[in-house]
Amino acid sequence: MISIICPFYNEEQMVPIFFTELLSAIGTINDEIEIICINDGSKDQTLLSIIEQKNRLPPNIKVRILDLSRNFGKEAALTAGIDHARGDAVIPIDTDLQDPPQLIPELVKKWQEGFDVVLAKRCDRSCDTWLKRNTAQWFYKIHNKLSNTRIPENVGDFRLLNRAAVEALKQLPERERFMKGLFNWIGFKTAQVAYTRNGRKAGESKFAMAKLWNFALDGITSFSTVPLKIWSYLGFLISFFSFAYSSIIIVRTLIYGIDIPGYASLLVVMLFLGGLQLIGIGVLGEYLGRIYIETKNRPIYIIRQEL
């Protein structure tokens, strides 16, 4: 059986279009199929729309609906879906048709060839805005430099995981779930399939700049401690230079006597160090805040009802 995980947040316009495309794409697959729809606390008629679609489907296609108690975010919605999936293969997919369902048979084919994980790689993102493409590229660069878990560029959450990979994923307990990183952390024998990323068919993106910034911070802090560690090295470097500089001053004072000017350089050094210290404390804060959230051990999502 194959489980398809579909997170919906305020997608009422997309629901019927998405189901039409999905059904035509999976028509050629012989395996049993289960569609898991997660309503991530939508404020519009998304849930009703999903239920309506469910009632219209032929009985051989199983649809399960997880209605979350509020908006928990895409990562949590995906986690809910993956936790409840019963399939031998699990495929998370965006419901705005930016991940083409037509690719699903190809993913399944690779899986049947013996791969554990099949990634869908976007070879063209020209539909995304210039800003998003570029910030995304920078993020991948920085993340991969800082962290031991590399995330392949231009691979989103759209992929196929077999049962073993899903069970491995379920063992990762963190609350701050950066799914792209977690997906890659588990490893397994991986294949790639390329596709062209389309624009959104209707509705609008839920990821504004501020949300993306936090998402990027989550990604880096979840998989790298380099930002925490560089401060001690920077500290050593600065202490070394201050030591050299103070030696020069002492020698100069001994030879030429006391010298009043120096107010400007003093102030510059003070402000510079003050700034560095604040940055260092800020980085500590980012990690501390995340540790704080983790220690509370709250559930990742809460299901209001299962339909």
Q: Are 8 and 50 in contact, with CB atoms under 8 Å apart?
A: yes
Minimum gap (Å) between residue 46 Cβ and ligand UDP? 8
Minimum gap (Å) between residue 43 Cβ and ligand UDP? 11
Instruction: Indicate which single residue of 98, 147, 162, 224 sits in contact with Mg ion (rule: CB under 5 A).
Output: 98
| Residue whose structure tokens are 């294949």 | 191
How far apart (Å, rounded) are the C-alpha atoms in residues 180 and 106?
21
Binding to ligand UDP by residue 8, rule CB under 6 A?
Answer: yes
Minimum gap (Å) between residue 10 Cβ and ligand UDP? 7
Q: Which is nearer to Mg ion, 96 or 157 (CB)?
A: 96
Burial (CB < 10 A; 0-12, 13-18, 19+), residue 8, is buried
Binding to ligand UDP by residue 95, rule CB under 6 A?
Answer: yes
Binding to Mg ion by residue 184, rule CB under 5 A?
Answer: no
Binding to Mg ion by residue 39, rule CB under 5 A?
Answer: no
Tokens of 238: 């600065």
Binding to ligand UDP by residue 67, rule CB under 6 A?
Answer: no
Partner whose binding site includes residue 12, from ligand UDP, Mg ion, none (CB under 5 to 8 Å by kind): none
Binding to ligand UDP by residue 74, rule CB under 6 A?
Answer: yes
Instruction: Indicate which single residue of 96, 99, 128, 218 sits in contact with Mg ion (rule: CB under 5 A).
Output: 96
Nearest 5°: phi and psi at 96? Answer: -95, 15
Minimum gap (Å) between residue 205 Cβ and ligand UDP? 3
Q: Which residues of 230-266 are buried (b: 16+ CB within 10 A; e: fewer)?
A: ebeeeeeeeeeeeeeeeeeeeeeeeeeeeeeeeeeee
Measured at the alpha carbon of residue 223, what is the angle toward residues 217 and 212, in degrees to the nearest 5?
A: 25
